[in-house]
Structure 1
Amino acid sequence: MKRIAETIMVTFAGGLLFTWLHVPLSWMLGPLTAVLLWTALARRSLAWPEKLRNMGLALLGYSMGLSFTIESALQISTQLPSMLIATITTIVFSLIVAAWTAKQTNVSFESSAIGSIPGGLSQMVVLSEEIEGADLAVVAFMQTIRLLTVIFTVPFLAVHGLANEAVQGVAGPDGQANGSADTIISSIMAAAQAITSRPLFSVILLLCVMASVWIAVRLRFPTPYFLGPILAASLFTIAGYEPPHLPSLFIILAQWSLGIYLGLGIKLSSLGDWRKLLPYSIMGSVAIVAFSLGLSVVFSSLMPISVMTAFLGTSPGGMTEMGVTATLVGANVSLVVAYQMFRILFILFVVPYLLKWGFRRFRRNPNPDPRTGES
């Protein structure tokens, strides 16, 4: 309990500081940064219960699921080919960056490739254990740097570079960012009124959300506590019902919990010789973000999708982080989550088999004779 109390105090200070500095996603990036600095400089061990992490993910998932409508579902179905194109081109570009990083740092191409592909950090680390020649510490370090680069650069670019006007604070029920005390109180009262006016519907909705989480866990979905509530809320909205929106305070607490969880999951000391790999990992991550930005410009010129939505959908971040950013800047949250979900599922279920096949083929025939085709 003392470690949890220390975590709350440290991360609350980080959230307040980033809010005062008008940093986008202040209640996610502030606690994340506070955890990293406190554990690195003060050499203190912080803790956060997994149940609170899961509750935060469920709140964010439910809130984002409310953006799904029949129109957005139809729009997503028409953009499946573009999702596939975006995913494949991003993976190919990541492999090109990985080859360059491996050449400059002398790490194995297997480690560099798995460390550069924008999948989930934990999933890529697990995959590295199954690939011969991959260094788990290198993969964890590169994925960590990629995650940090995306989390800090993409929201900044979205808010200060692509948005029509910089939006600060936390997204409220109407999709606009507003974290003032008056707005929080009014949103809590509105949510309470919506629940008390339809108590039976609220109970059924709660049971469906809980059931969706249980099903997502049983089916081993990626981030089940986030995906389950998204699916439950989206089914209600697509069916024509109007589930109550969450108060702004709940969104702040959910982002706070997510920031703590991300900070505790990042281990910058996992690699001994990290100084040589760090600059190339940062440059590679920035290159992939820039590639996503260029890809989003092309997509927006060819399809009915804004540059903002395309950028957040194709960025090499996670569903949760990019979904929260989309809510903050008023992008099409349903499309952003759909693009991110498609890429993650493709990387989870298709890429491992392709990588294993490719690495085996590469090791079997590393330097083919151009005349005979034999090693």
Structure 2
Amino acid sequence: MSDPAMPARFEKLSAPWQWCLLFVLSALVAGGLEFLGMPAALLIGPMVAAVVCGVNGASARVPEPAYLAAQGVIGCLVAMAIAPQVIAGFLERWPLFLGVVLATLIASGLLGAMVGRWGALPGTTAVWGSAPGAASAMVVMADAFGADARLVAFMQYLRVIFVSLSAALFARLFVDTSGVVAPPIDWFPTLRLPDFPATVAIALVGAFGGRVMRFPGAALLMPILLAAAYQLTGLGTLQLPEWLLAASYAAIGWTIGLKFTRPILAHAGRALPHVVLAILLLIGFCAGLGVIMAPVFGVDALTAFLATSPGGMDSVAIIAAASRSVDLSFVMTLQMARFVIVLVFGPPVARLIAGRMKG
């Protein structure tokens, strides 16, 4: 049984001690998840640590400027995926990519609506939580559009885990991936001039400029637009060192996790069976799309499965690279195309479905 006095004891700690404990716990959890090869460990670790502190009465909160700056960095990270070769690959097979992406987006929206209809989660929250891919961006945008970011994060990152495990399991039927490991992380690379200062400037100007606009999601969308323009016009190359990404992930994870309370955590636990069912249905639907794609468009089964896998882009890339038979360009082009399209069409689809549910 939990100790009802525990929150009160935690609240008696001074702010510096609360932050110290939160930082240490975040490092331990993130390190453990990285050791286990868990995707998005640098985001999930701080979020889990913040949930533990939040439900036990922590009063520490991430300052809004730090949260906005973190959104700007995430926006630049999204823009790095919008490369000329990805756009060229999309244009070559745009009917296929657009059809698959829109089918996945509609299916995820309907599954989110089902979760909302079951009463497990509020309608808008369920729809945002079911949106495929771009988990960190979806959490940020869901918060901007009025959904409960805590429960959206719960759904999104639970799906990332399921998708990564299912992709690895499916891949083992075709190729041995036991010797494939992620490349070592260079935490402190040499900072390039003017790329790094330009990237930081774009992140800050875009995020804080978007905040001034008071348009939902603008603090994330403005950096994406500015960074994509900077990169695609040839003005320079974006640079996001791993330490900056880790700090941004931590700021977002802490912001979300510290908002958790014991009633919210209990609510998430009650919704778990419905959420898991929705995740498995979405994975099954995407696998079905892959089965249809494989013979029609002349790609192998593993390529089709990995290309349509709804999330876990990093792990999908590692698994795809393990087999010479996999068309890595096809896989990543479809993944990137969906990533961008979900960012553009996710908000209106979520609002449309949630609005109809309220009606």
TM-score (norm 1): 0.64
Distance across 1 between alignment mates of 2:214 and 2:334: 23
Relative distance call for 1:64 and 1:352 in structure 2 (3 A) is closer
* Equivalent in the alignment of 1:18: 33
Q: How does 1:54-65 map to 2 (within 5 A)?
A: 54-65=68-79
For 1:69, which of 77, 83, 107 is the aligned residue? 83
* Partner AA of 1:152 in structure 2: I
Picking from 95, 110, 113, the partner of 1:95 is 110
Give the aligned partner of residue 349 of structure 1. Answer: 348
Residue 5, structure 1, aligned to residue 20, structure 2: yes
Match of 2:207 in 1: 213
CA shift, 1:13, in A, is: 1.8
Aligned to 1:150: 159
Equivalent residue, structure 1, for 2:187:
184
SS class of match (1:68): coil
1:72: Cα distance to partner?
1.7
Match status 1:283 vs 2:277: yes
Which whole-Å CA distance do the structure 2 matches of 1:286 and 1:81 have between them? 24
Aligned to 2:307: 310
What residue ranges of structure 1 are gaps of 5+ in the alignment? Answer: 130-135, 169-175, 316-321, 361-375
Q: Report the residue type matching 2:348 in the other structure.
A: F
Aligned residue among 86, 92, 105 for 2:101: 86
Q: How many residues align?
A: 320
1:33 alignment partner in structure 2: 48
CA distance in 1 between counterparts of 2:83 and 2:140 reads: 31
Task: Decide which of 242, 245, 256 is 1:248's aligned counterpart.
Answer: 242
Kept in 1: contact 2:150–2:257 (CA 8 A): no
Does the CA-based 8 Å contact 2:231-2:238 persist in structure 1? no
Question: Does residue 233 of the first structure (1) align with residue 227 of the second (2)?
Answer: yes
Per-residue deviation at 1:11?
0.9
Name the structure 2 match of 1:319: none
How far the C-alpha of 1:55 sits from its partner, in A, is 2.8
SS of residue paired to 1:245: coil
Give the TM-score, by structure 2 length.
0.66
Preserved CA contact (<8 Å) 1:115 1:143 = yes
Q: Per-residue displacement from partner, 1:298-353 (whole Å, max 9, x unpaired)?
A: 456655995476345x44xxxxxx56667877777675354134234334224534
**Per-residue deviation, residues 235-288 of structure 1 (Å, max 9, x unmatched):** 233223442533333333333333333433555623877765432232223322
CA distance in structure 2 between the aligned counterparts of 1:206 and 1:338, rounded to whole angstroms: 25
Question: 1:142-171: per-residue Cα shift (whole Å, max 9, x none)?
Answer: 645422421332344456655974766xxx
Residue type of the alignment partner of 2:249 = Q
Partner amino acid, structure 2, of 1:25: A
**2:234 is paired with a residue of what secondary structure?**
coil
1:257 correspondence with 2:251 = yes
Q: Secondary structure at the match of 2:45?
A: helix
Following superposition of structure 1 onto structure 2, how do residues 292-307 of structure 1 map, counting pairs within 5 Å? 292-296=286-290, 298-299=292-293, 302=296, 306-307=303-304
For residues 204 and 267 of structure 2, the distance between their equivalents in structure 1, rounded to whole angstroms, comes to: 45
**What code does the residue aligned with 1:345 have?**
V
Contact 1:61 1:226 (C-alpha < 8 Å) held by counterparts: yes
Give the root-mean-square deviation of aligned CA atoms. 4.4
Distance 2:142 2:201 in 1: 33
Task: Structure 2: give runs of 5+ residues left out of the alignment.
Answer: 1-14, 132-137, 322-327
Deviations 1:209-250 (A, max 9, x none): 444335544566664444433333332332234425333333
Percent of aligned pairs sharing the same letter: 14
Q: Which has the larger radius of gyration?
A: 1
Partner letter of residue 21 of structure 1? Answer: L
